[in-house]
Chain A
Amino acid sequence: MRMARRMGFLALAACLLLVPAASFGAGFALFEHGARAVGLGGAFGATADDPTAIYFNPAGIAFLEGTQFALGTELITESSTFNGANPYPGQGYSVDMKKQIFVLPQLYLTGALTPDLHWGIGAYAPFGLGTWWPDEYAGKYVSKRVDLKVFNVNPTLSYKVTDNLALAAGIDYFYSNLSLTQSLGAINPYTQQVAEVGQVHLYTDFKGGFGWNVGLLGKLDGGFSIGATYRSNVKINYTGNASFTQFPTGYPDFDAIVGSQIPFGTKPTAKTSIKFPDEKRIALAWHGSKLGIEADVMRMGWSSFQDLPVEVVGYPLLSQTRPEKYTDSDCYRLGVEYKASPSLALQFGLVDDKSPVPTESVSPLLPDAERKGASIGASIGLSPKTRLDVSYFYLKFKDRSTEGINSDGYDGTYKTTANLLGITVVHKF
């Protein structure tokens, strides 16, 4: 029985791995790891009173009763329009990003080893990126499609030092893969214009990387509580293949020369690496009998992401390092919860998330911008032991212009909005 349950957990975790991810925190971070916390605008680091605390503040699980689990998902749709500017692709040019629905998984399990020492294990997607543009759009030589999936398995231990103070430490094991697709262009000497000579699709195997995290939660007098967490960098070295496909241009001798330069039809080994940022959070909450308020400030260490090196082994001319030069960024979160009845609580949240992406790096790969969002949520008691959390989150990105300095020479303004719907079930055994 015990074995069967564990197998079930692993099977579920394996399924969840296959789900694509999107980017809805600044950069390509994701913060939507529990419907109630999302309803609070992600301001949950000092409240942290259900199993989703494993992400928001693992110290919180020391205060949870018995064995609990939370299982949920966040559904995300995004709408992004790019309006071109001169000199390329020109004023009047407009293109919409392809619509995708992203499904983020979340699963948390907590329990007590002793009255003061609690364990927890969480599985969720802390980062992810999904941008997909139409095949024939003007930025196809920069990027057509990117899919970055990152899944974190996060075991943690939390120790209650006193009745009002808990400390936690945990391991992050990231499991991730990356795929990049772009068109290959070359100047066709016959037309003296660019010709789409092919496409390269880079896809990596799932690779792992370790990090760690610590948390503190203190309950103060008068209903106040404070939380602080730190989650470390995680670096992943990816290996996979680059697959090159040739497109005929109508000029056979040109095609033959291009074909002699690029390993079309083969799949040479490709390597890349990403150093995911560290995350710091400081949170302050106040809880009365019916009303709770929390504010969190976060700093993401995005300066870890200075470039995206892609090496096609044996083909130095096809290898390239994209400079990204992200900078550390801050995020502000405010949440309010009102307990309307023993079986109903309502949440409201606000978010202001700054962009770590410098103007020259704002590209079709990641048209990032500062975003502001508002959320509402409800927690409904289905039974004394089971709770259903639902939330809706609307994100409006600030219009982001490349100001004529994009490093790929693809200039214009991106207008993006996103809608997020979260559902989480929390159960106490």
Chain B
Amino acid sequence: MRKIRTTLLLGLVAALAAGAAFAQANFSKYEALGDSLTAGYSAGALTKFYQDYSYPELLAKQFGITSFQQPTISDPGIGSYGTVLELTALHVVNGSVVPVIGPTPGNSGQPINATLPTSYNNLGIPGANAGDLLTKTGDITKLLTGNIDPNTIMFDLVLRDAQHTAIQQAIGAAPTFVTVWAGNNDVLNAALTGVALEGVTLTPAAQFQQEYTTLLGALRQNLSTAAIVVGTVPDVTAIPFVSTIKPYLINPATGAHIPLLGGTPTAIVPLTEQDYVTLGASSLLAQGIGIPLEAGGTGLPLPEGSVDATGLHAGVILRASEIAAIQARTNDINGIISAVAGQVGAKVVDFHAIFANIVANGVLVGGIKLESTFLTGGIFGYDGVHPQRLGYAIVANEWIKVINGAYGTNVPLVDLRPFLTGEGTLTTVSAKSAVFTSEAAISTIKLFAPNALTDKLQPEQVVRHHLTARMDRAAITPLSP
């Protein structure tokens, strides 16, 4: 009897201790679930140079974890187009700066932590949406034997055993602390392909509700004492891939706006000021496509995304109605994330608000104002979608602020000085002497929509397409394939 009572008492003490640990957050074993943002993907690739500074890796360091494991790829990485993007030149054309960004020459990098006998601590899978974390598995042997499938490569790399999903691996690792930043790809595909289609590039709200509830529910059910912190989805107009190119040119003599051209060769529809043009248009615009004849262009339209019998054709225009649909779905998803988080006792980092503030006000670090602008803003990297190292460090600090606020912990913020100035422990980017090439654009779009057809994005293809579509056009010169 006494023994039973003692056991009960011990059990009660243990339960209280566990409760206390939950309230205070125990960072001893950390698993990160998510997509490319969690993986530390940047500049169109997964590569050690950026992975070493992924926000989960930075958080683990601040937690004092010394053996945080990631599916590291040797530089120059593996991207959907081959290797990591680099800036090769900054040209000044007609007074505006034209960067040349393309894949680093040479062969792709190799997995260098593929034989780790346990699951990775960073289970961020580039390209994954919320549902994929519940259903997809991956097989590393395909990668190691050179049998590369671009549709599954990132799952093969991160999940490896061909049996266990991301959520299963996360639970199996028995973490005390979990972050989940999922849902980005449930809306981002629409922005990157220029096609906002329910069920195709936009995950229906009801489906997301079911998937996200299952995701967090499984975590809470199996990890009853773990602290869970989740992130919301930023607005797509916060990323340079969407915000950089204006839908018009400015007449330097008059200051008047000249709308760029969209639509089809037979039915041109000039863009309105509320429409968006993605970075995918960069190399097309450089060849005069999308620019009216009177403004010195070809008079040919920029490609709009479309779906036909052959598949989804990525375009470079986001019409105001498409942006509105993406933003509405983003709001749906963020509402679901916050509500489900509340149900399972997870804390929320509101990246939607954080990035909106960065767009509106920037972030001042050491007197330097960091902004969401492409190349010169300091936060986003060469693909215009993902943060670069400094951006990921800022993202890590936003997680830490919420963690400290929610759990009363005192996790130190990441020191930004090495990231900003290069002083300290970071290695700096090798100096290489950079237009967002069509390869760069395709690389970025392919990550999110590996099945999308990118025929419309290659200038030669576009011209060929236009020429066949518009037989009334005068001088047709055959293009070499």
Neighbour of B428 across the interface among A143, A189, A193, A260, CB < 8 A: A193
B378 and A192 contacting across the interface, CB-CB below 8 Å: yes
B412 and A192 contacting across the interface, CB-CB below 8 Å: no
One of A28-36, A81-89, A340-348 at the interface: A81-89
B431 and A251 contacting across the interface, CB-CB below 8 Å: yes
Neighbour of B368 across the interface among A87, A194, A250, CB < 8 A: A194
**CB-CB contacts below 8 Å: A143-171 with B:** 143
Neighbour of B421 across the interface among A143, A193, A256, A257, CB < 8 A: A193
A192 and B421 contacting across the interface, CB-CB below 8 Å: no
B92 and A260 contacting across the interface, CB-CB below 8 Å: yes
Q: How long is the Cα–Cα vector from A88 to B92 in the complex, in angstroms?
A: 34
Nearest 3 pairs of A and B residues by beta carbon: A141-B367, A90-B415, A142-B367
Interface size on B, residues (CB 8 A): 43
**CB-CB contacts below 8 Å: B405-434 with A:** 412-424, 428-429, 431-434
A189 and B92 contacting across the interface, CB-CB below 8 Å: no
One of B129-137, B159-167, B358-366 at the interface: B358-366
Q: How long is the Cα–Cα vector from A260 to B94 in the complex, in angstroms?
A: 12
State whether the Cβ of A93 lies closer than 8 Å to any Cβ in chain B.
Answer: yes
Q: How long is the Cα–Cα vector from A189 to B85 in the complex, in angstroms?
A: 12
Task: List the A side residues contacting B434 at CB < 8 Å.
Answer: 189-190
The answer to whether A138 and B428 touch (CB under 8 A), given A90-B417, A91-B415, is no
State whether the Cβ of B292 lies closer than 8 Å to any Cβ in chain A.
Answer: no
Task: List the B side residues contacting A191 at CB < 8 Å.
Answer: 422, 428-429, 431
**CB-CB contacts below 8 Å: B88-106 with A:** 89-92, 97, 99
Q: How far is the CB of A319 from chain B (nearest CB, A)?
A: 14
B397 and A87 contacting across the interface, CB-CB below 8 Å: yes
Q: How long is the Cα–Cα vector from A347 to B358 in the complex, in angstroms?
A: 56
Task: List the B side residues contacting A193 at CB < 8 Å.
Answer: 378, 390, 419-422, 428-429
List the B residue with the shortest CB-CB distance to A406. B364
A138 and B376 contacting across the interface, CB-CB below 8 Å: no
New A-B pairs, 19, CB < 8 Å, besides A88-B417, A141-B368, A254-B90: A86-B415, A87-B393, A88-B420, A90-B418, A90-B424, A91-B412, A138-B423, A187-B370, A187-B378, A189-B99, A190-B87, A190-B429, A192-B390, A193-B390, A253-B92, A404-B413, A409-B363, A409-B364, A409-B367
List the B residue with the shortest CB-CB distance to A183. B367
State whether the Cβ of A292 lies closer than 8 Å to any Cβ in chain B.
Answer: no
Main secondary structure of the interface of A (DSSP, over half): loop
B367, B378, B422, B423, most chain A CB atoms within 10 A: B367
State whether the Cβ of A209 lies closer than 8 Å to any Cβ in chain B.
Answer: no
List the B residue with the shortest CB-CB distance to A86. B413
A253 and B389 contacting across the interface, CB-CB below 8 Å: no
State whether the Cβ of B377 lies closer than 8 Å to any Cβ in chain A.
Answer: yes
Q: How big is the A interface, by class?
A: 35 or more
State whether the Cβ of B34 lies closer than 8 Å to any Cβ in chain A.
Answer: no
List the B residue with the shortest CB-CB distance to A189. B375
B420 and A194 contacting across the interface, CB-CB below 8 Å: yes
Q: How long is the Cα–Cα vector from A181 to B99 in the complex, in angstroms?
A: 32
A253 and B433 contacting across the interface, CB-CB below 8 Å: yes
Q: How far is the CB of A140 from chain B (nearest CB, A)?
A: 8
The answer to whether A189 and B433 touch (CB under 8 A), given A90-B424, A142-B367, is no
List the A residue with the shortest CB-CB distance to B414. A87
Interface string of A239-257 (1 = CB under 8 A from B): 0000000000011011011
Neighbour of B412 across the interface among A86, A256, A409, CB < 8 A: A86
State whether the Cβ of B381 lies closer than 8 Å to any Cβ in chain A.
Answer: yes
B92 and A90 contacting across the interface, CB-CB below 8 Å: no
B414 and A86 contacting across the interface, CB-CB below 8 Å: yes
Q: How far is the CB of B44 from chain A (nearest CB, A)?
A: 14
A250 and B381 contacting across the interface, CB-CB below 8 Å: no
Task: List the A side residues contacting B419 at CB < 8 Å.
Answer: 193
List the A residue with the shortest CB-CB distance to B419. A193
Task: List the A side residues contacting B203 at CB < 8 Å.
Answer: none
B417 and A194 contacting across the interface, CB-CB below 8 Å: no
Q: How long is the Cα–Cα vector from A380 to B377 in the complex, in angstroms?
A: 64
Q: How far is the CB of A84 from chain B (nearest CB, A)?
A: 8
Q: How long is the Cα–Cα vector from A385 to B381 in the complex, in angstroms?
A: 76
Q: How long is the Cα–Cα vector from A123 to B402 in the complex, in angstroms?
A: 55
Task: List the B side residues contacting A89 at CB < 8 Å.
Answer: 366, 415, 417
Q: How long is the Cα–Cα vector from A142 to B364 in the complex, in angstroms?
A: 10
A87 and B378 contacting across the interface, CB-CB below 8 Å: no
Q: How long is the Cα–Cα vector from A43 to B50 in the complex, in angstroms?
A: 62
A88 and B390 contacting across the interface, CB-CB below 8 Å: no
**CB-CB contacts below 8 Å: B342-373 with A:** 363-368, 370
Task: List the B side residues contacting A232 at CB < 8 Å.
Answer: none
Q: How far is the CB of B109 from chain A (nearest CB, A)?
A: 19
State whether the Cβ of A327 lies closer than 8 Å to any Cβ in chain B.
Answer: no
B376 and A408 contacting across the interface, CB-CB below 8 Å: no
State whether the Cβ of B388 lies closer than 8 Å to any Cβ in chain A.
Answer: yes
Neighbour of A407 across the interface among B364, B413, B416, B423, CB < 8 A: B364
State whether the Cβ of A186 lies closer than 8 Å to any Cβ in chain B.
Answer: yes
Task: List the A side residues contacting B415 at CB < 8 Å.
Answer: 86-91
B421 and A409 contacting across the interface, CB-CB below 8 Å: no
**CB-CB contacts below 8 Å: A216-256 with B:** 250-251, 253-254, 256
**CB-CB contacts below 8 Å: A70-104 with B:** 84, 86-91, 93
Task: List the B side residues contacting A392 at CB < 8 Å.
Answer: none
State whether the Cβ of A386 lies closer than 8 Å to any Cβ in chain B.
Answer: no
B92 and A93 contacting across the interface, CB-CB below 8 Å: no
B378 and A257 contacting across the interface, CB-CB below 8 Å: no
List the B residue with the shortest CB-CB distance to A250. B431
A138 and B390 contacting across the interface, CB-CB below 8 Å: no
A194 and B421 contacting across the interface, CB-CB below 8 Å: yes
Q: How long is the Cα–Cα vector from A250 to B430 in the complex, in angstroms?
A: 12
Q: How long is the Cα–Cα vector from A408 to B362 in the complex, in angstroms?
A: 11
**CB-CB contacts below 8 Å: A53-73 with B:** none
List the A residue with the shortest CB-CB distance to B397. A87
**CB-CB contacts below 8 Å: A123-150 with B:** 138-143
Q: How far is the CB of A188 from chain B (nearest CB, A)?
A: 9
Task: List the A side residues contacting B388 at CB < 8 Å.
Answer: 192
List the B residue with the shortest CB-CB distance to A408. B367
List the B residue with the shortest CB-CB distance to A190. B87
State whether the Cβ of A410 lies closer than 8 Å to any Cβ in chain B.
Answer: yes
Q: How long is the Cα–Cα vector from A143 to B424 in the complex, in angstroms?
A: 21
The answer to whether A139 and B99 touch (CB under 8 A), given A90-B424, A187-B378, A253-B91, is no
Q: How long is the Cα–Cα vector from A189 to B384 in the complex, in angstroms?
A: 12
Q: How long is the Cα–Cα vector from A138 to B420 in the complex, in angstroms?
A: 10
State whether the Cβ of A211 lies closer than 8 Å to any Cβ in chain B.
Answer: no
The answer to whether A138 and B417 touch (CB under 8 A), given A192-B378, A193-B422, is yes
The answer to whether A257 and B365 touch (CB under 8 A), given A89-B417, A138-B417, A190-B429, is no
Q: How far is the CB of A391 from chain B (nearest CB, A)?
A: 38
The answer to whether A139 and B367 touch (CB under 8 A), given A257-B90, A257-B97, is yes
Task: List the B side residues contacting A185 at CB < 8 Å.
Answer: 367-368
Task: List the B side residues contacting A257 at CB < 8 Å.
Answer: 90, 92, 97
List the B residue with the shortest CB-CB distance to A84. B417
Neighbour of B90 across the interface among A87, A187, A189, CB < 8 A: A189
B375 and A87 contacting across the interface, CB-CB below 8 Å: no
10 A–B contacts from the bound complex (CB under 8 Å) = A86-B414, A141-B366, A142-B367, A182-B367, A186-B376, A187-B378, A190-B434, A193-B378, A193-B422, A408-B366
Q: How long is the Cα–Cα vector from A90 to B422 in the complex, in angstroms?
A: 13
Q: How far is the CB of B387 from chain A (nearest CB, A)?
A: 10
The answer to whether A139 and B376 touch (CB under 8 A), given A87-B416, A88-B415, A90-B415, is no
Task: List the A side residues contacting B365 at CB < 8 Å.
Answer: 87-88, 409
Q: How far is the CB of B409 from chain A (nearest CB, A)?
A: 14
